[in-house]
Amino acid sequence: MTISKMLLGAASLAMATGMAHAESHMADTSDMRIALSNNYAGNSWRQAMLQTWEETAEEAVAEGVVAAADAYTTSENQATEQAAQIQNLILQGYDAIVLNAASPTALNGAVKEACDAGVTVVSFDGIVTEPCAWRIAVDFAAMGREEVDYLASRLPEGGNLLEIRGLAGVFVDDEISKGIHQGVEEHDQFEIVGSVHGDWAQDVAQKAVAGILPSLPEIVGVVTQGGDGYGAAQAFEAAGRPTPLIVLGNRQDELQWWAEQRDANGYETLSLSIAPGVASLAFWVSQQILAGEEVPKDLTVPFLKITQDTLDEALETTPEGSVANVVYTLEDAKEVIAEAK
């Protein structure tokens, strides 16, 4: 087992080196199989992400670009379970594993095993720090800072903020929160007086905010991570408290609520998130690596931002219950790769 794995690793290494030299003719990936390992599916962003993956994969398989591109989601957001899933995908002989990781570090052992077995690992959104893997992310810390910059431009007097965090343990949650706290250090007229985890899901966020609100002073702004803004608004309304300035995260129910508030009382805010379509970018990046393209290990994509001016347009193109999205093609992936070189 180990010997054949080592041979496999050596063979694919030789192949990869050979390919790098023969850039003029890319390798054929039509007999190769790619797997998506995903740690969580319990919110609209993840559903849209999985749907984008499915649509991209179906098309690529139909066109003979790859032989298979299967999606696997763990039942619990547990790194141990996802590590076992990755080991299973190695045994199933996948050529590449695209990964939305439960933890930036706890999966590194399993990721290293995959690399040693000659499997290409591309992490996105929830990325991993293992050097053999590729990473595709937005600058989540910058997203957090931008939220506070926006609040400072709208509420120069400052005041108390409520922070709604995402899924505990995931890279994305740590980074956005880090950026928010950096923003508050810079704009010290604001103070974060409460923090809850909303798991990027409206129902979870609503319960968490409802639970903490009675103990909080007046709140002027809510800093979020996406998938939690509408739930927060509902909780404030149920508590009979004035609606603060809530930064939103591109979910259709949030955008719908924003449009209704805007029409009723001129409510104005900002909405920003990573597009779930980054899954399609991760698919094409892994395909390009398998084809022998030299791809830098770290790729950054811009976050998707919706303003008062683009709200109606975004709402029109976002299906009910989903998230504002951008889907990436092979051409887009080649462009992102070229820009990173």
pLDDT, tens digit (0-9, with 9 covering 90-100), for 79-108? 999 999 999 999 999 999 999 999 999 999
Domain boundary among 233, 257, 273: 273
Q: Is residue 257 part of a domain?
A: yes
**Structural domain of 194:** 140-273
Is there a single domain that holds both residue 96 and residue 210? no
> Do 173 and 47 fall into the same domain?
no
* pLDDT for position 68: 98
pTM of the model: 0.88
- Specify whether 127 is located in the same domain as 147: no
Q: How far apart are CA 267 and CA 259, in angstroms?
A: 8
Same domain (yes/no): 161, 101 = no
Residues 69 and 157 in one domain: no
> Is the domain of 269 the same as that of 283?
no
Sequence-separated (6 or more) residues with CB below 8 Å from residue 4: none
**pLDDT tens-digit series, residues 283-304:** 999 999 999 999 999 999 999 9
- Give the separation between CA 120 and CA 100, rounded to whole angstroms: 14
Q: Contact 212/163 with Cβ under 8 angstroms?
A: no
250 part of a folded domain: yes
Do both 25 and 117 map to the same domain? Answer: yes
Same domain assignment for residues 146 and 250: yes
Looking at the fold, whether 35 and 78 belong to one and the same domain comes out as: yes
Give the pLDDT confidence of 307-325 residue by residue, as tens digits.
999 999 999 999 999 999 9
Which runs of E-coded beta strand occur in the chain?
33-38, 68-73, 96-100, 120-124, 134-137, 159-165, 190-197, 221-223, 245-246, 271-273, 298-300, 304-306
Q: Are residues 228 and 238 in the same domain?
A: yes
Cβ count within 10 A of residue 310: 12
**pLDDT over threshold 50, residue 257:** yes
What is the pLDDT at residue 24? 38
The answer to whether residue 112 sits within a structural domain is: yes
Query: Are the CB atoms for 208 and 236 separated by under 8 Å?
Result: no
> Which residue matches tokens 């590729």?
134
Tell me: do 165 and 247 sit in the same domain: yes
Q: What is the CATH number of the domain that holds 326?
A: 3.40.50.2300
Is 317 inside a domain boundary? no
Q: What is the pLDDT of residues 155-201, one digit of tens each?
A: 999 999 999 999 999 999 999 999 999 999 999 999 999 999 999 99
Same domain flag for 294 and 249: no
- Does residue 236 lie within any of the structural domains? yes
For residue 99, the model assigns a pLDDT of 98
Q: Decide if 315 is inside a domain.
A: no
pLDDT for the residue 7: 44
Tens digits of residue pLDDT in 15-31: 444 444 334 357 999 99
Query: Tokens for 112?
Result: 């290293």
Q: How confident is the model at residue 76 (pLDDT cuts 50, 70, 90)?
A: confident
Residue 309 lies in a domain: no
In a domain, 311, yes or no: no
Separation between Cα atoms, residue 260 and residue 233, nearest integer Å: 12
Mean pLDDT, residues 42-64 taken together: 97
How many domains are there within the chain?
Answer: 2
Average pLDDT, the chain: 93
In tens, the pLDDT along 259-276 reads 999 999 999 999 999 999
